[in-house]
Amino acid sequence: MISIFLLLIMISTALSISTRFINSINERKNKENINESMYAICSELKYNVSLNKINDELISGSKVIKYDNNLLKDLLNKDLFAFEEETNGDSILKIELIEKNESRVRLKILIKYNGETLEQEIIKAEWMDEI
C-alpha cells in the first residue's frame, strides 16, 4: 500500500513537472514568434513602405490589423497595409502615428498575441525610402 502511494506521488510530480516544462516551451515559442514578427514589421515599415504611403494610411492616427502566425509568410506577397483590419480582438498588430513632420514620422508598433504584448517605437525618415 505504501509503495503504491509513493508511486502515485512520483507519477503526479513527474506529470506536474512535464506540464510546466511544456507550458514554458510554448511560452518561449510564442515570445520568439512575436519578437521575430516585430523585427520584420519594423524593417518593413522602415525600408519597404514609403513615407508618403505611411502618411496616407495613418491619416486617422492608427491602423489595427488582425495578427496571426501566418503574418510573416503573407507579408512576402502582400502589402502591410492591405491586411484585414481588426476592430477588436486579442490578436492584433497596431501601428500608431505618434509624431509627424515633413521628413520623418515616429511610429509605435504594438503586437498582442496569446496573452503576450510587445511594443516598440521606430522612426521612419525620408532617406530610408532611398535604400
Looking at every residue in the chain, the average pLDDT score rounds to 92
Query: How many domains are contained in the chain?
Result: 1
Distance CA 77, CA 27 (A): 28
Q: What is the average per-residue pLDDT within 106-127?
A: 94
Domain span at residue 63 reads 2-130
The SS3 of residue 115 is coil
Spatial separation of the C-alpha atoms in residues 67 and 38, rounded to whole Å: 11
pTM of the predicted protein model:
0.82
* All residues at 6 or more sequence positions from 105 whose CB lies less than 8 Å from its CB, including other chains: 51, 54, 55, 58, 97, 98, 99, 123, 124
> For 4-45, how does the pLDDT look when each residue is reduced to its tens digit (9 = 90+)?
999 999 999 999 999 999 999 999 998 999 999 999 999 999
% of residues, the chain, pLDDT over 70? 100
The DSSP bridge partners found for residue 106 are 99, 123
- Cβ partners under 8 Å of residue 121, min gap 6: 98, 106, 107, 108, 109
37-82 pLDDT, tens digit each: 999 999 999 999 999 999 999 988 999 999 988 888 999 999 999 9
Q: For residue 121, what pLDDT is reported?
A: 97
- In terms of phi and psi (left: phi > 0; alpha: psi -120 to 50; beta: otherwise), the region of 24 is alpha
